[in-house]
Amino acid sequence: MVSRVGVVGGGAMGTGIAVEFAVAGRDVAVMTRSDRTGAAALERIRRDLELMVDTGLLTTGQAATAASRVRTTTSLDEVVDGSDHVVESVPEDVALKREVFTELDKRAPGDVLLATNTTSLPVSAIAAGCRRPQRVLATHYYLPAHLVPLVDVVPGEHTSPEAIDRACRLLTELGKTPVPFKVDAGATVGPRLQTAMISEAIRLVSEGVTDPLTVDRVIVEGIGRRFGVTGVFDRLDLAGLDTMTAVLRAQGRPVPGVLAEKVEAGHLGRKSGRGFYEWSPRRAAEFDDRVARHLIAQLPRRPAERPAVSVDVGVLGPFLEAAVDEYESCTPEAPPRCFALLVGEQSAEEIAVRRLHFARNVRDEDPDASVEFAEHIVPCFGAAYANRRRGFWVDATDVLRAHRAAEADGLELLGSIHLHPDWHRIGPPGERGLRISQRPTPMDTYVFRQTGWPLNMITYLERRGGRVYSSLGAWAAPGRAGECAELDVRLPLT
Ligand SMILES: NC(=O)c1ccc[n+]([C@@H]2O[C@H](COP(=O)([O-])OP(=O)(O)OC[C@H]3O[C@@H](n4cnc5c(N)ncnc54)[C@H](O)[C@@H]3O)[C@@H](O)[C@H]2O)c1
């Protein structure tokens, strides 16, 4: 097992490679040319880790542990000393890399793999000064190294198959996607494809066909979006190999033999069931679904138009009074319970609450409630709900009565309102971990989904400086899997 890694070069790629190994639990020594570049490398690593925390990829604790695993040095001996694996990422200069590898080879024990991150240089040329070139290979990462999964694994002329296997195993352990190549092509597939695109882009601009901004837009807003989920050959099969042949001809480009042969044989891609790949209807449907989901995820969300809730202070008053009474008299063993049904009217723009009906809690009496709490709620939402004072099970006849009375007045049953106390402050010590507010708890979300009521209000009560305050939240019923959407609450004052 590789537990310590040496990285030579602390630039754009070296720092990302260091982050990758440190996050995966390896100690990393990064060699830089001076203390100043060492400090810059550590600062870059800190920023990379910070962003991983901001985006939820790592916890603060995990990032701190990863940061503590990386140290910098200006001594090649220190990088090699105790390292089970060394990655070189100095500038793309064959003489410089050869010199680094000659020194690494002298210092590192024979079983240590020496990997170069070269983009375009032959591994054999880099390993030319090594006595043990069988352990020299390229592991070519893509910028930013800690975020792009692919790593090309390339042998030199003398690299042993065992070295390639070991490198692939290590990268797989790290969660990367190693792609081993058989020949030392001097430039791996990714860079060659990229170079082809870059050359074409430069040609388009220098021929005056377009400008750099337009090229970048075409990539970012167009073909680049699809590259996140499709390759080249599945795209070709999708477009149709006959169509692609026609496009190449129209552009005055030669049609490669392999393409012409397939078209000749009637293998036109997906539409004929076979092209570069085999396409069953199921595979085609799965492909479409995957592409569409990927593209949808990149589109900006349009916030859904939701109705606002309008509720008169006078309508809410009795509920708030009852809620404060419950709050004042509750104990950690007996949480406050207050619940009412909301009745009113709704349109696309507004849900207007006209009145409320208190309803009885039959959590203790209703056998259905006991079964639901024992079999579903307690296993899903925690043992705290085994407390029979916890949770509200509204009497079904009260719901029916409220429903009928609403109908008689041309209104409808809109939903419910209930109380959340500042339980993270006043509840039993074991239940103070989760901050309570006017937002739905997981249990609320479950209940709101079950009832499907369009309006679910929560009043959150907390004591501050001797006074009890209420914050009101209003929530639409969640969909099958999502969260509850928040609704604006308006209190008409005139
Ligand atoms: N930038 C990319 O997109 C990318 C992607 C894949 C691979 N690569 C390859 O990675 C390698 C490094 O590229 P980069 O983008 O990180 O360059 P970079 O210039 O950001 O970093 C190179 C670092 O190496 C240091 N350095 C120079 N000589 C050194 C020596 N003798 N000992 C120790 N450190 C030394 C430099 O001070 C610099 O900090 C190159 O071979 C490049 O082709 C780059």
Question: Which tens digits make up the pLDDT trace of 200-255?
Answer: 999 999 999 999 999 999 999 999 999 889 999 999 999 999 999 999 999 999 99
Average pLDDT over residues 138-164: 95
Angstrom CA distances, 102 to 96, 424, 486, stand at 10, 62, 63
Structure tokens at 426: 């006043």
Q: How far is the CA of 448 from the centre of ligand 1 (A)?
A: 55
Ligand 1 within 6 A of CB of 117: yes
Classified as helix, coil or strand, 453 is coil
**Count of CB atoms within 10 A of residue 78's CB?**
15
What span, in angstroms and rounded, lies between the C-alpha atoms of 477 and 447? Answer: 9
Q: What single letter denotes the amino acid at residue 150?
A: L
For residue 93, name the pLDDT band (cuts at 50, 70, 90). Answer: very high
What span, in angstroms and rounded, lies between the C-alpha atoms of 24 and 112? Answer: 19
Q: How far is the CA of 193 from the centre of ligand 1 (A)?
A: 21
Q: Is the per-residue pLDDT at 363 higher than 70? A: yes
Q: Quick one: pLDDT at residue 303?
A: 66
Average pLDDT over residues 89-107: 97
Q: How far is the CA of 103 from the centre of ligand 1 (A)?
A: 17
Ligand 1 within 6 A of CB of 16: no
For residue 364, name the pLDDT band (cuts at 50, 70, 90). Answer: confident
Average pLDDT, the chain: 93
Residue nearest to atom 37 of ligand 1 (CA): 33
Q: Quick one: pLDDT at residue 481?
A: 65
Nearest Cα residue to 336 out of 266, 270, 280, 390: 390
Q: Quick one: pLDDT at residue 380?
A: 83
The larger pLDDT score, comparing residue 492 to residue 380, is at: 492
Q: Is the per-residue pLDDT at 187 higher than 70? A: no
- Nearest atom in ligand 1 to the alpha carbon of residue 118 is 41
Q: How far is the CA of 232 from the centre of ligand 1 (A)?
A: 29
pLDDT, one tens digit per residue, over 414-469 is 999 999 999 888 988 877 767 789 999 888 998 999 889 999 999 999 999 889 99
Nearest Cα residue to 117 out of 134, 105, 131, 96: 96
Q: Is the per-residue pLDDT at 125 higher than 90? A: yes
pLDDT, one tens digit per residue, over 274-325 is 999 999 999 999 999 899 889 988 888 766 788 999 999 999 999 999 999 9
Q: Is the per-residue pLDDT at 354 higher than 90? A: yes
Give the single-character DSSP code of 375.
I
Structure tokens at 207: 């021929």
pTM of this prediction?
0.66
Q: How far is the CA of 5 from the centre of ligand 1 (A)?
A: 17
What span, in angstroms and rounded, lies between the C-alpha atoms of 18 and 1? Answer: 17
Query: Vertex 349, ends 456 and 341: CA angle to 5°?
Result: 25
Q: Quick one: pLDDT at residue 330?
A: 92
Q: Which residue carries 């009145």 as its tokens?
A: 355
Ligand 1 within 6 A of CB of 119: yes
- Least confident residue range of 401-415, 437-451, 477-491: 477-491
Ligand 1 within 6 A of CB of 39: no
Q: Quick one: pLDDT at residue 298?
A: 86
Ligand 1 within 6 A of CB of 193: no
What span, in angstroms and rounded, lies between the C-alpha atoms of 85 and 111? Answer: 9
Q: Is the per-residue pLDDT at 76 higher than 90? A: yes
Q: What single letter denotes the amino acid at residue 100?
A: V
Nearest Cα residue to 455 out of 428, 478, 432: 478
